[in-house]
Amino acid sequence: MEIGKLPESVLKRSVFKQLHTMRPEVLQGAGVGEDCALLQLAEDEMFVVSTDPITAAAKDAGRLAIRVTLNDIATTGAEPVAVLVTALLTPETTEDEIRGLIGQMEEECAKSNVQIVGGHTEVTDVVRQPLLSITGIGKVKKDCYLLTGGSKPGDDIIITKWIGLEGTSIIAKEKEEKLSERLPKDLIKTGQEFDQYLSILPEAQIAADHGVHAMHDITEGGVFGALWEVAAAAGLGLDIDLMKIPVRQETIEVCEVFGINPYELISSGSLLVTTPDGTGLIRALEEAGIPAAIIGKMEDGNDRIIRNGEDRRYLEPPKTDEIYKVV
């Protein structure tokens, strides 16, 4: 396609025609020439806004872009309402590919009753593959929002589902041929299907209703990065049992092929929660069919300790995600 804004005919045909999910809060949504969306909330509600790019995944980028942004909104205890989409496309991008990306995003939004209210689409030669950046908007009651730094000493630290889900899914799709040289096809297929677990909205709602102190979705930097960020935000230490961190065998196998660390692998789909009542929250999550585990506690002071049997070491600040060693 030609460099510059998408032609109006393409916008109408391959973008706007695919947007069907509508919210009553939206007074003005996506449209030709409309640079702003208008949303009306109640007097006792707050906006929650977050933004995320997708840079490491070519396949299913539209789905991932929406999921990770809605996950961020959900960790505050808020309900996702709307998203704005910035899509920077290469000159080689076809209209069918544009339609596919928008279709993926609308499909994900519809699952969570979220409206695409606008954004920007442009063809440019400064990117090597389509680059999506999503801004999410949510709403939450004034006295009910959560912050990453809200943890308290003595809180149980809980991980939902399994770490490494997103990284495993991306690698299994992008590097299927390489993995097939060493791993069974059934294992690779299972890893590819981990993308079905990437939304944390159900467990975030359960946790918020349970009265937790903090939530954080485990994205770039993996579980080690997320643990550091939660502790740093609260100005606290932590004590973690490495053996209690839930991880699927498929993730371990995929990571071994490429010599990467699953604990430092992007992990959307897994939610980190701190709460004074870990046992009660685990029970509530299990009743909803969501596996979870208590992996340690928040501590006074600044010591951030990882235990592995009798071995004991200090957690390091977040590093570059392991995904970038592979894709």
Measure the CA–CA gap between 71 and 120, rounded to whole angstroms: 22
* Domains recognised in the chain with CATH numbers: 4-141 (3.30.1330.10), 148-325 (3.90.650.10)
Is residue 143 a contact partner of residue 223, using CB atoms and an 8 Å limit?
no
Report, as an integer, the average pLDDT of 289-297: 98
Residue by residue, DSSP assigns 200-242 as -HHHHHHHHHHT-SEEEE--TTHHHHHHHHHHHHHT-EEEEEG
The pLDDT value given to residue 11: 85
**Confidence tier at 39 by pLDDT (50, 70, 90):** confident
**Beta-bridge partner residues of 139:** 47, 79
Range in 50-54, 90-94, 102-106, 134-138 with the lowest mean pLDDT: 50-54
The pLDDT value given to residue 67: 94
**Confidence tier at 60 by pLDDT (50, 70, 90):** confident
The pLDDT value given to residue 300: 96
Closest CA to 131 of 170, 175, 87: 87
At 113, the amino acid letter reads N
The pLDDT value given to residue 57: 59
Output the six-digit token pair for 60.
């299913």
Report, as an integer, the average pLDDT of 264-282: 97
Q: How far is CA 98 from the centre of its chain?
A: 22
Measure the CA–CA gap between 212 and 6, rounded to whole angstroms: 45
Is residue 251 a contact partner of residue 163, using CB atoms and an 8 Å limit?
yes
Measure the CA–CA gap between 160 and 145, rounded to whole angstroms: 20
For residue 95, pLDDT beyond 90: yes
Range in 53-67, 158-172, 233-247 with the lowest mean pLDDT: 53-67
Output the six-digit token pair for 42.
């109640």
Q: Phi and psi dihedrals of 7, rounded to 5? A: -60, 150
For residue 157, pLDDT beyond 70: yes
For residue 56, pLDDT beyond 70: no
Its pTM stands at 0.88
